[in-house]
A and B are shown apart, each in its own frame.
Chain A
Amino acid sequence: MIELKVNGRTHSVAADPDTPLLYVLRGELQLNAAKYGCGLGQCGACTVTVDGEAVFSCVTPILLLEGKEVTTLEGLGTAEAPGPMQRAFIEEQAAQCGYCIAGMMMRAQALLQKTPGASDAEIRRELEPHLCRCGTHMRILRAVRRAATAMQSAAAGETGR
């Protein structure tokens, strides 16, 4: 059994150690957000964060993840109480089919946690590993920008208290 910490909770996982994290998230842990897109680290649909860094869960075996903090899109909020990144994507209506979006949001989240003042060019460069086939790119860029602004003003509010 491997112990995996996902969205703040520790799980004992029965899967073989070579199992990519994606299959454990979607299977044993019944989490929907991370998606199978290519299994090759080419499209980004499976992206989650591990200790704050964006990783492709489809090519990351769970044996590498003991003692690390995995965060999936479910960890950022819920439909009833969305986090700033989720709220921004809803406000910008930044999805068509939406299949790629969870991965985009997780990489953007990792970027903004490290670089709260990321420029538009940095956001665009960071999202380069992610594919969107519906052509929602303009809205995705706007949503990440909106999330950055919201997260910065929230942070400023906390500092001010």
Chain B
Amino acid sequence: MSPSLSRRAVLQGAGGLVVSFALSPAGFAQQAAETPQHDGAKLPGSLAESPFLESWIKVGADGAVTAFTGKAELGQGIATALCQIAAEELGLPFAAVAIVTADTGLTPNEGYTAGSHSMQDSGTAIRNAAAQLREILVGEAARRLGVPADGLWVEAGAVAGPDGARLSYGDLAGGLSLHVQAQPTSRLTDPGRFRVMNRPVPRIDIPAKVTGGAAYVQDMRLPGMLHARIVRPPSYGARLTALDSSAVEAMAGVVKVVRDGDFLAVLAEQEFQAVKAMRVLAMAAAWQEDAKLPDPARMSETLLALPAQDFTILDRHEGGAATGTTVAATYSRPYLSHGSIGPSCAVALDQDGAMTVWTHTQGVYPDRKAIAEMLGRPLERVRCIHTPGSGCYGHNGADDAAADAALLAAALPGRPVRVQWMREQEHAWEPYGPAMVTKARATLDATGRITDWDYGVWSNTHSMRPGPAGSLLAAQHMARAFAPPEPKPLPQPEGGGDRNGIPLYAFPNARVVHHFLPDMPLRISALRSLGAQMNVFSIESFMDELALAADADPVEFRLKHLQDPRAQDTIIAAAQAFGWERGSPVEPDRGRGFAFARYKNLAAYCAVAVEVAVTRETGEVRIPRVVAAVDTGQVVNPDGVRNQIEGAILQSMSWCLYESVGFDAGRITSVDWSTYPILRFSAVPDSVEVRIIDRPGLPFLGCGETGQGPTGAAIANAIADATGQRLRDLPMTAAKVKAAIGV
């Protein structure tokens, strides 16, 4: 199998390469001449960065339509949704569109698949590109038929006209070039006429995943492929001081031991031979450790004492002096693991000076840049092909595994190398979601209205992603070591640690400060929703504390402070579906809680209502029922939206009830599922209902992370309702609940 084959071809074991659009010089010149240059208006979505139509959509001479996206299928269903969009605008059945996802050799550069951006960026680009392609095809048909374009229509892969005239897309495309700049506006299909969009389409990736098909990078088997395992240092910054690898080299199946500075690995013919050799190699290595980690029991104090760069991200003074009841609270969260079920994996092949890496990275282009820098090779000699892996939920070990594979492949040119991390390596070395502290203070006037809001968040950055080689573990550990890049705060309006730090509520006086902490005691990076989870947890917990102080119903209290009608609609939809009524009676030790946020204050709106049952003797919290409402703009795949929101709710439940990264003075101690417990089936709700608010024709908002914040706050609010005790330090473990109740 050649590395030039597409990801899909590799995974399906088939030879079906994407057929490029035939570029005829004559057609190109003609088309270019006919294409007026737009006057600087911004192109929609990622067309702004990759403006040529052929980057996004191609029609083969056989009429086969392929969409191209720089975004990666992470299990969020993006490949399916993007096919729906292209099929809709081209008047095709859903199944007629194929898609190629993130590949530096084939697709546009759309950065990272992150931040709930895929639908806005890539979905918008593909929708407009497909609509403009349709118009070009119709125009060409009109020219050939000698009839006006407005008398023609598209159906089933052809342009049709009166009197049975019919020209297939493949036929029409043969003489055209799509090497044309997109226009700022397109004739988009009216939502009232949707056939494929806003319909629950079964995901294209699921059949292989439930039948044992080759669905993951883990499933790749290239001819002559070696299996590698890494021996990681025992702690951050540990140095390899002595190594006798002779015993390992004599083991069955072992092909090579690779040492480069503090980077140590073994390659073997069979996978379990590599695992056994890794264990022996680990015993044969001596390390000098000097990591000094903070006391996990005093993490909040540690963070508050770190040097901070303060950014005032909101400073509003529109009301008079605040007088009335003042309420203050401090909230905290620990480091959180991405906790992918499958440890990170990658395959690399160094052939004729060209490095190909199959990786489940979220960003093939940034990863390529980092790997090329690490290897000291020009960018164009490295190709990164996204190949699905286990769910990542942000920046886990994916990029590091890709670097491991590339470094090892470079040591054995011509032989494909597959690296998979061990469970304890993923748990100990992935970059965690940062620990955070927030402080809130607010004043209520006599009418129960918040007149003054003061909020601060203390946090590391939330992205140490590649780009720079120094982001990669292998590059940090190799002899010619690359230093980790300087951490940077991510700018508003999306923000990093301060993501969703600004409340959506309309307070006349409000101040929000982001205390950015450059020192990073643990290795951290992006975890799904970045700082939004903690800021929404804090703000929405605090809103309930204020509602209590104002003797107000939490739902009414929120509505009273909101001006955005879509926010209000979302809250009302969730409250109604839940059956939220003021002062409705609940059984003893049962409570209900509500929370709301608009992700990043610019993506999808989400409100969550939960019911909890607390066992007083143990402090155990069960969540029998969850109802969510979401407004994500125009919906493409309603079942995909539901799946994402359900998943966000259950994952956030797990974060908030159980999870914290463990460490001692020098080492990470949460290295498997017994030391890092997560949600299991016994704690899964009896019902989770997701209401989608229909917003036909409105821009895509992206829903993948919007449920993360509200869920945790809704749970905390429900526990407070059930027990009268407010938990402000995550996770809300049974032990903490029990201690708070004081039984």
Q: Looking across the interface, which residue of chain A has its beta carbon closest to that of B676? A: A42
Contacts of A76 in B (CB 8 A): 211
A32-B213, A133-B339 known; A15-B75 Cβ under 8 A: no
Residue B562 CB within 8 A of the other chain: no
What 5 A-B pairs are tightest by C-beta distance, nearest first? A135-B650, A97-B75, A33-B212, A97-B391, A98-B209
B205, B212, B654, B680: which has the most chain A beta carbons within 10 Å?
B212
Q: With a CB–CB cut-off of 8 A, which chain A residues contact B649?
A: 135
CA–CA, A106 to B51, complex, Å?
Answer: 47
Most A CB atoms within 10 A — which of B209, B644, B650? B209
Q: Among A20, A90, A96, point to the contact of B210 (Cβ < 8 A).
A: A90
Which residues of chain B have C-beta atoms less than 8 A from A72's C-beta? 212
B420 CB, nearest partner CB in chain A, Å: 6
A125 vs B201: C-alpha distance when bound (angstroms): 31
Give the residues in chain B near A89, CB-CB below 8 Å: 206, 210
18 pairs of residues in contact across A and B, judged by CB atoms under 8 Å: A32-B214, A36-B218, A38-B423, A39-B275, A45-B342, A79-B207, A79-B213, A89-B210, A90-B206, A93-B202, A97-B75, A98-B206, A99-B342, A100-B341, A134-B391, A135-B647, A135-B651, A141-B684
User: Residues of A at under 8 Å CB distance from B?
Assistant: 15-16, 19-20, 23, 26-27, 30-33, 35-40, 42-43, 45, 72-74, 76-79, 82, 86, 89-90, 93-102, 105, 124-125, 127-128, 130-139, 141
Known A86-B210, A133-B339, A133-B340; judge A97-B390 contact (CB<8 A): yes
Q: Give CA–CA (A16, B646) in the complex, Å.
A: 43
A interface secondary structure, majority: loop
Question: Which chain A residue has the least Cβ–Cβ distance from B639?
Answer: A93
Candidate in B341, B343, B644 with the most chain A CB atoms within 10 angstroms: B341
Residue B497 at the A interface, CB < 8 A?
A: no
The interface residues of chain B lying within 8 Å CB-to-CB of A102 are: 209-210, 212
Q: Provide the bound-state CA to CA distance between A99 and B396, in Å.
A: 15
* Contact digits for B509-532, partner A, Cβ 8 Å, 1 yes 0 no: 000000000000000000000000
Q: How far is the CA of A127 from the CA of B684 in the complex (A)?
A: 11
- Shortest Cβ distance from A5 into chain B, in angstroms? 17
Instruction: State whether B210 touches A82 (Cβ < 8 A).
Output: yes
Closest to A137 in B: B684
A15, B270: Cβ atoms under 8 Å? yes
Contacts of A95 in B (CB 8 A): 75, 203, 206, 209-210
Nearest opposing residue in chain A for B342, CB measure: A99
B650 touches A137 (CB 8 A): yes
Alpha-carbon distance A23/B647, docked complex (angstroms): 30
Extra pairs beyond A32-B216, A36-B342, A37-B341 (19, CB < 8 Å): A15-B270, A23-B272, A37-B423, A42-B423, A73-B211, A74-B212, A79-B207, A86-B210, A95-B210, A98-B75, A99-B216, A125-B682, A128-B681, A133-B651, A134-B651, A135-B647, A135-B648, A135-B653, A138-B687
- Kindly provide the distance from the CB of B638 to the nearest chain A CB, expressed in whole angstroms: 11
B311 within 8 A of A: no
Instruction: Determine if A135 and B682 form an interchain contact, defined as CB atoms under 8 angstroms apart.
Output: no
Q: Is the CB of B643 within 8 A of A97?
A: no
CB of B637 to closest CB in A, whole Å: 10
* List of B residues within 8 angstroms of A79 by Cβ: 207-208, 211, 213
Report the bound CA distance from A161 to B275 in whole Å.
52
Minimal beta-carbon separation of A90 from chain B (angstroms): 6
Interface pair A98/B673, CB less than 8 Å apart:
no
- Assess whether B678 is interfacial by the CB under 8 Å rule: yes
- Point out residues on B near A: beta carbons under 8 Å: 74-77, 202-203, 205-216, 218-219, 221, 252, 270-272, 275, 339-343, 388-391, 393, 420, 422-423, 639, 643-644, 646-651, 653-654, 672-674, 678-682, 684-685, 687-688
Residues of A within 8 A of B206 (CB): 89-90, 93, 95, 98
Say yes or no: A32 contacts B681, CB within 8 Å: no
Q: Which of A30, A38, A127 contacts B681 (CB 8 A)?
A: A127
Chain B residues within an 8 Å CB radius of A43: 341, 673
* A126 to B141 Cα, complex, angstroms: 60
Contact B681 A130 (CB under 8 A): yes
B684 & A39 in contact (Cβ 8 Å cutoff): no
Q: Which residue of A lies closest to B392 (CB)?
A: A97
Q: Please tell me if the beta carbons of A96 and B75 are within 8 angstroms of each other in the complex.
A: yes
| Closest-CB distance, A142 to chain B (whole angstroms) | 11
A109–B202 Cα distance when bound, in Å, is: 23
Cβ contact within 8 Å between B209 and A135: no
- Please measure, in the bound complex, the distance between the C-alpha atom of A70 and the C-alpha atom of B416, giving whole angstroms: 30
Please judge, given known A-B contacts A15-B270, A37-B341, A133-B340, whether A96 and B643 are in contact too, CB under 8 Å.
yes
Shortest CB–CB separation between residue B524 and chain A, in angstroms? 19
Q: Which of B210, B271, B342, B389 contacts A26 (CB 8 A)?
A: B271
Residue in contact with B674 in the complex, picked from A42, A82, A93, A101, CB distance below 8 Å: A42
Residue of B214, B389, B679 with most partner-chain A CB within 10 A: B679
- Interface residue from A45, A131, A141 paired with B680 (Cβ < 8 Å): A131
**What's the minimum C-beta distance from B631 to chain A, rounded to whole angstroms?**
20
Which residues of B sit under 8 angstroms from A98, Cβ to Cβ?
A: 75, 205-206, 209-210, 215
The residue in A42, A93, A124 that gathers the most chain B C-beta atoms within 10 A of its C-beta is A93
Contact A138 B214 (CB under 8 A): no
Contacts of A93 in B (CB 8 A): 202-203, 206, 639, 643
Cα–Cα, bound, A33→B651 (Å): 24
Chain B residues whose C-beta falls within 8 Å of the C-beta of A101 in the assembled complex = 209-210
User: Closest CB of chain A to B529's CB: distance in Å?
Assistant: 13
Known A-B contacts A32-B219, A79-B213, A97-B75; the reply to A136 vs B643 at CB < 8 A is yes
Specify which chain A residues have a CB less than 8 angstroms from the CB of B643 in the assembled complex: 93, 96, 136, 139
Nearest-neighbour CB distance to chain A for B35, whole angstroms, equals: 41
Residues of B within 8 A of A96 (CB): 75-77, 391, 643-644, 647
Chain A residues with Cβ below 8 Å from B252 are 16
- Closest chain A CB from B711 CB (angstroms): 10
Contact call B646/A138, Cβ cutoff below 8 A: yes
Task: Out of B272, B654, B681, name the residue touching A19 (CB < 8 Å).
Answer: B272
B718 to chain A, nearest CB (A): 18
Most central of A33, A86, A98, A102 by chain B CB within 10 Å: A98
Distance in angstroms between the alpha carbons of A31 and B219 in the assembled complex = 8
